[in-house]
Amino acid sequence: MKKYNFNAGPSILPAEVIAQTAQACQEFNGIGLSLMEISHRSKDFQPVMDEAQALLKELLDVPVGYSVVFLGGGASLQFCMIPFNYLEKKAAYLNTGTWAKKALKEAKLFGEVVEVASSADKNYTFIPKDYSVPADVDYFHFTSNNTIYGTEIRKDFDLPVPVIADMSSDILSRPVDVSKYAVIYGGAQKNLSMAGLTFVIIKDDTLGKVSRAIPTMLDYRTHIDKGSMFNTPPVVPIYSALMNLRWVKAQGGVKEMERRALERAAILYDEIDRNKLFRGTVETEDRSVMNICFVMNDEYKDLEADFMAFATARGMVGIKGHRSVGGFRASCYNAMSREGVEALVACMKEFEAQH
Ligand SMILES: *Cc1c(COP(=O)(O)O)cnc(C)c1O
């Protein structure tokens, strides 16, 4: 049976990206060795690093004066690296969910943190809009896509302070005006590559402004200066990122990724709104096009386990909602086909017809 992978992360990748990465692990570049057993400084691997950085810059139209680095440690390590490198006195954070809150918690270890707004009192079902960012903060941090709750900020902020964004789960799903950011970062395992890799896009001249000493490995300048080769980088995830970046480019780039994301989301949200059994969990205007959350309507609540079994039997994988929301979550990253979403919608219709 064909499986449709709606996992939230690690998540779906194009079949050819998986095949190419598997091949490189068997034998890389026809050199008679695996990618896993050669030096990251070899003449065979260096071009992989160079092209991956260049292609991420090209696809996101990253202006001059910015660097792309590939690190380990996940987005979670960035929650502390950001304040380590940027927080001198005070920072502003927008609290839109679990990941935003975790980032905010780490920042408090380094200085004063202003929570400019929060949607916690409504279980993060909306994006706060009525707030202001103090002019004297070192930076403003937000999470563009709330993977767990299914809300998304699909715009770039115009602010007089440096803007820093966690784009773990919507990077490469739409064009972004990178010039409006000091830093964009994320774990690769949602929409860029396999697990084990973190990308950070940094405006070079925003660094070096804090007075504290920064441990070498946690200082962005170390990794920029050494081209992400200060220590051994995660070579296989970087290779799979490169294969995926080439795939995105061949498909038509981030504009085409956005067109497909909007199309998939429209198909699924239309069905959620139409189907008598289901309802969406977040404010319509703040709906994520990446992580689509829905629950059974109250009068059909006891059908939840039945629908899960019904959909699973038809090849749907990973649609169980996060425990803090319940119900269902269909994560529709770049590699999810329209056909996959249509298969899920067909399940919803068929199940409705039976009840
Ligand atoms: C998954 C996720 C994280 C955590 O990423 P790790 O790489 O596991 O640390 C952080 N932020 C967002 C928005 C995420 O979706």
Beta strands in 229-338 (DSSP E): 278-280, 291-296, 316-317, 328-331
Based on the fold, state whether residues 297 and 220 are members of the same structural domain. no
Other Cβ atoms closer than 10 A to 159: 15
Based on the fold, state whether residues 107 and 128 are members of the same structural domain. yes
Q: What is the pLDDT of residue 262?
A: 98
Q: Is residue 274 part of a domain?
A: yes
Based on the fold, state whether residues 266 and 237 are members of the same structural domain. no
Beta strands in 73-218 (DSSP E): 90-95, 112-118, 140-143, 145-146, 151-152, 163-166, 183-187, 198-203
Closest CA to 331 of 13, 119, 103: 13
Q: Which of 251, 271, 301 is the last residue of a domain?
A: 251
What type of residue is 202? I
Based on the fold, state whether residues 202 and 107 are members of the same structural domain. yes
C-alpha neighbours within 13 Å on the C-beta side of residue 220: 30
Q: Is residue 323 part of a domain?
A: yes
Based on the fold, state whether residues 31 and 143 are members of the same structural domain. yes
Domain hosting residue 260, numbered range: 253-354
Q: Is residue 98 part of a domain?
A: yes
Q: Are 291 and 11 in contact (CB under 8 A)?
A: no
pLDDT average per 10 residues of sequence, the chain (355 residues): 96 98 97 97 97 98 98 98 98 98 98 98 97 98 98 97 98 98 98 98 98 98 98 98 98 98 98 98 98 98 97 98 96 98 98 97
Based on the fold, state whether residues 74 and 185 are members of the same structural domain. yes
Ligand 1 contacts CB of residue 166 (under 6 A): yes
**C-alpha of residue 223 to centroid of ligand 1, in Å:** 21
Based on the fold, state whether residues 280 and 311 are members of the same structural domain. yes
Question: For a pLDDT cut of 90, what percent of the chain falls above it?
Answer: 100
Instruction: List the catalytic residues.
Output: 99, 166, 190
49: three-class secondary structure by DSSP: helix
Q: Is residue 8 part of a domain?
A: no
Based on the fold, state whether residues 200 and 235 are members of the same structural domain. yes
Q: Which of 251, 281, 309 is the last residue of a domain?
A: 251
Please state, rounded to an integer, the average pLDDT across all residues of the chain.
Answer: 98
The enclosing domain of 234 has a CATH number of 3.40.640.10
* pTM reported for the whole predicted model: 0.98
Q: Is residue 9 part of a domain?
A: no
Based on the fold, state whether residues 146 and 278 are members of the same structural domain. no
Q: What is the pLDDT of residue 69?
A: 98
Ligand 1 contacts CB of residue 193 (under 6 A): no
Q: Is residue 96 part of a domain?
A: yes
**C-alpha of residue 338 to centroid of ligand 1, in Å:** 25
Give the residue whose CA is nearest to atom 13 of ligand 1: 168
Based on the fold, state whether residues 160 and 297 are members of the same structural domain. no
Largest CA distance in the chain: 65
Give the residue whose CA is nearest to atom 12 of ligand 1: 168
Based on the fold, state whether residues 208 and 291 are members of the same structural domain. no
Based on the fold, state whether residues 211 and 282 are members of the same structural domain. no
The enclosing domain of 272 has a CATH number of 3.90.1150.10
**C-alpha of residue 31 to centroid of ligand 1, in Å:** 35
Q: Is residue 349 part of a domain?
A: yes
For the chain, the domain total comes to 2
Tell whether the torsion through CA atoms of 336, 58, 208 and 87 is positive or negative: negative
Q: Which two tokens stand for residue 258?
A: 């956005």
In tens, the pLDDT along 21-39 reads 999 999 999 999 999 999 9
Q: Is residue 263 part of a domain?
A: yes
Q: Which of 251, 267, 300 is the last residue of a domain?
A: 251
In tens, the pLDDT along 61-85 reads 999 999 999 999 999 999 999 999 9
Distance CA 95, CA 35 (A): 40
Ligand 1 atom with the shortest distance to the CA of 195: 7
DSSP β-bridge partners for residue 291: 331
